[in-house]
Structures are given as structure tokens and as C-alpha cells.
Chain A
């Protein structure tokens, strides 16, 4: 009689970003290897992941890159959808699944979305900004594309530890806000270091003819922060949460405009 079932080896690894371990299961050893390379420095030995995802690999297909991501919640189950993936996550069960082809970009997007949702409930957020640690303090450099996130990251001196050149990870603690390194890269394509430090300042980047720092009024600071937040969910409660988190952040962390010329001297003002 032919065998009716096939045992599939279940492989997994834990990706820990911002002190949140997420275990990813796959049956494909090549995909697992790709994840190990992609998230080197963020692969954890944690035996107690907070969330577990099964990845169901599908044949590659051409996806429209202009299809916007949709993140919705129904019956306490989140659905993440884009042209290249579909995922579900059930927070109460701490499990979910991802359906995608064997590429590193789709799961990266899923992880970004997942972290925005988890952080939003805890008063934190992901921010379009580079960040680095210097003298034990973290500094964030926010701005839209071309604002200078990659440039300021590239100019960082040897005593600065780069957390990310693209997306900063911000957690709220009782004593203030902490920035964590992320594997979410921008043009520099260099993973951040998997370390953290209390946030000392947020700078809004502007390229100019001199290096200078100008404090921002709370309203402009909050507006700029809100404009640079990463958030995808169509969810009233979480939008309320992240909106008010931005106001709280600005009340606790100095926010300034950093005008700079693109050379290393700008870092003389930082730290």
C-alpha cells in the first residue's frame, strides 16, 4: 500500500528584533539558509519566541510592485496582503502563517508590519530614520527619501554604532524611549547592529550649506514625527495609539532640525 502521508522536516530559526523573538518555520532548507544570511546578527537562540510563523512557499510570480499593502483585522485575526505575499497573524494564539515565494523581501515586509502592530500597542513605533549610538546614547535622523539618511549613516565616525540607515525601532520604557538596531536596510544595504540605547535626540534632516542644529517647536516636531512614522493598519484603536505616542515622544525627547553639508564634520555636532 502506498504511503499516504509524507513527513516533512520542519526547519526553523528565531529572528529577534527589538527584544521580540519571532520563530519562522519552513520546510525549505534553502529558504532557511537565505533567512540566516539575511538576518545575520538578529538570529537568536531564544527558546521562547513570542510569535511563530509558518512560511508556505509558493512558486514565484510577477507581482505588481504598485499594489499597496493592506493590513486589516477581523475576528481578532490580522491579515497582511500585498501583491507578493499574504499573511495572517492571530495575536491570542501567537501564531500565524505567511504565503510567499522564496524571496527575502516578502518576509521582510511581513516582519516590518508585525513589529508596527506590536509596538503600537506598547507605545512604540517604527520610524523612517537612520539611527546610531554614540557615547551610550541613541540619535535618530529622520527624513523622507533623499533627505540624507543614507548620507549621514555613511559619514558616521568609527566610534558611532549604526542601528539602521532606513527604519528605526523605537520602544517606550518607563524612563523614556529606547532605539534598537534593525536589519531593515536602505540604500546602504548594511544591517544595523543588534544593540540598543536610550534615545537622546531626534533630528529632522535637511541638506544645506552649513552644519547647524535648530530646535523645533512641539507642533512642528510632532507633525514631522507623524509624517515619518511607518504604519499600515486600518485600525481605529491602533491609529489612536500611535498618534498619541508621537505626542508623548515629542514631550520627552528633544527634536531639532539638523541642517548639514555632506561631509564628516556634521558628526562633530552629534553626541
Chain B
């Protein structure tokens, strides 16, 4: 089974305030607010860590969920975020540049 890699799209503006991650699309200025799981995914999406490792390291310990179920949910979420061009997903590691818009 192939592994999935996720990376933050550098073409969005992103910033966290009071634990709430806000993201604005550079394509059409649409504003997104990420929930806790999506925020964890966003922050860990470095293009080099496979999604299953992100789930294992960052999601399972916080939500007391079965790894297989958590991975399935995370993959669905990653594809949804990719559909909004917030994340990039690939079956290969994704080279990234530092996102210029993010500050925490």
C-alpha cells in the first residue's frame, strides 16, 4: 500500500490566533477556519513525513482513536483540504519552500 505525503500549500496565507488556525486562499481570497484535527494536520504537513506517521505521532495520542480509523479520517480530511488548495498531497515526498505567510 502506498503512503501519502502532505504539505502546506505555500500559496495561502495562514495564521493561528488563540489556537484557531485561519487560512486565506490566494486564489480567490476564501477564508477557512480549521478545526483541531485539521490544524494538527496542517501544522505537521511538512511534505516529508508520511500521513500515517503524522496520525501516529500527533493525532492518535490526542484523540484516543484507533490508528486505522484515524488514518482513514485523516486521509479524507487531507483530500478535502487539498480540494480547497490548502494542502498538497502526493504519493511521493513533496519538496517545500518556507511558507511566507505563516506565523504562529
Chain A positions within 8 Å of B, measured between CB atoms, are 217-219, 222-223, 226-227, 229, 231-236, 239-240, 242-244, 247
Return the CB mask of B16-59 against A: 1 if under 8 Å, else 0.
Answer: 01111010111111010100000000000000000000000000
A240 / chain B contacts, CB cutoff of 8 Å: 13, 26, 100-101
State the Cβ distance, B83 to closest chain A Cβ, in Å. 18
Contacts A223-B31, A226-B31 known; 8 new A-B pairs at CB < 8 A: A219-B17, A219-B18, A222-B22, A233-B29, A234-B28, A236-B11, A243-B13, A243-B24
- Whether A234 pairs with B26 at a CB distance below 8 angstroms is yes
B101 / chain A contacts, CB cutoff of 8 Å: 240, 243-244
A247 / chain B contacts, CB cutoff of 8 Å: 15, 17
Find the A residue at minimum CB distance from B23.
Answer: A243
B12 / chain A contacts, CB cutoff of 8 Å: 239
B20 / chain A contacts, CB cutoff of 8 Å: 219, 223
Given contact pairs A217-B18, A244-B101, A239 touches B25 in the complex (Cβ within 8 A): yes
| Count of A-B residue pairs with CB < 8 Å | 48
Q: Which of B17, B25, B28, B29 contacts A222 (CB 8 A)?
A: B17
Complex Cα–Cα for A179 and B17 (A): 25
A218 / chain B contacts, CB cutoff of 8 Å: 17-18
A219 / chain B contacts, CB cutoff of 8 Å: 17-20, 22
Q: Which of A222, A233, A234, A244 contacts B13 (CB 8 A)?
A: A244
Complex Cα–Cα for A53 and B28 (A): 26
Find the A residue at minimum CB distance from B20.
Answer: A219
Complex Cα–Cα for A244 and B99 (A): 14
State the Cβ distance, B82 to closest chain A Cβ, in Å. 18
Complex Cα–Cα for A227 and B22 (A): 11
Complex Cα–Cα for A229 and B26 (A): 14
A229 / chain B contacts, CB cutoff of 8 Å: 29
8 nearest A-B pairs in the assembled complex, by CB-CB distance:
A243-B13, A236-B26, A219-B18, A219-B20, A239-B26, A240-B101, A219-B17, A243-B24
Q: Which of A235, A239, A242, A244 contacts B15 (CB 8 A)?
A: A244
23 cross-chain CB contacts under 8 A = A218-B17, A218-B18, A219-B17, A219-B18, A219-B20, A219-B22, A222-B17, A223-B20, A223-B33, A226-B22, A232-B29, A233-B29, A234-B26, A235-B26, A236-B11, A239-B24, A239-B25, A239-B26, A239-B29, A240-B13, A240-B101, A244-B15, A247-B17
